[in-house]
Amino acid sequence: KECPESGSYTEVDETVCYKCSEKGHIARNCNSNRGNKCYSCGEMGHIARDCESKA
């Protein structure tokens, strides 16, 4: 297969993260704690899988 011509893919630095709205990365690579609300205890900064107060 041939390489796609430049401009056919979105450049990484133009990509906007859905989690923090910053440019240059995507949500799965985001270091922001924004949106990391635990469904188990309701506190911010971690997710239920990592919660120490599991019921």
So what's the pLDDT on residue 23?
Answer: 92
So what's the pLDDT on residue 16?
Answer: 92
So what's the pLDDT on residue 40?
Answer: 92
The CATH code belonging to domain 11-54 is: 4.10.60
So what's the pLDDT on residue 53?
Answer: 84
Q: 25: closest CA among 3, 5, 10, 46?
A: 10
So what's the pLDDT on residue 18?
Answer: 84
Question: Are residues 53 and 38 in contact, defined by beta-carbon separation less than 8 angstroms?
Answer: no
CA distance 49 to 28: 16
Give the residue extent of every domain in the chain.
11-54
- For the chain (55 residues), the mean pLDDT of every run of 10, in chain order, is 58 78 89 79 87 76
pTM: 0.41
Q: How far is CA 15 from CA 1, 6, 25, in A?
A: 26, 16, 6
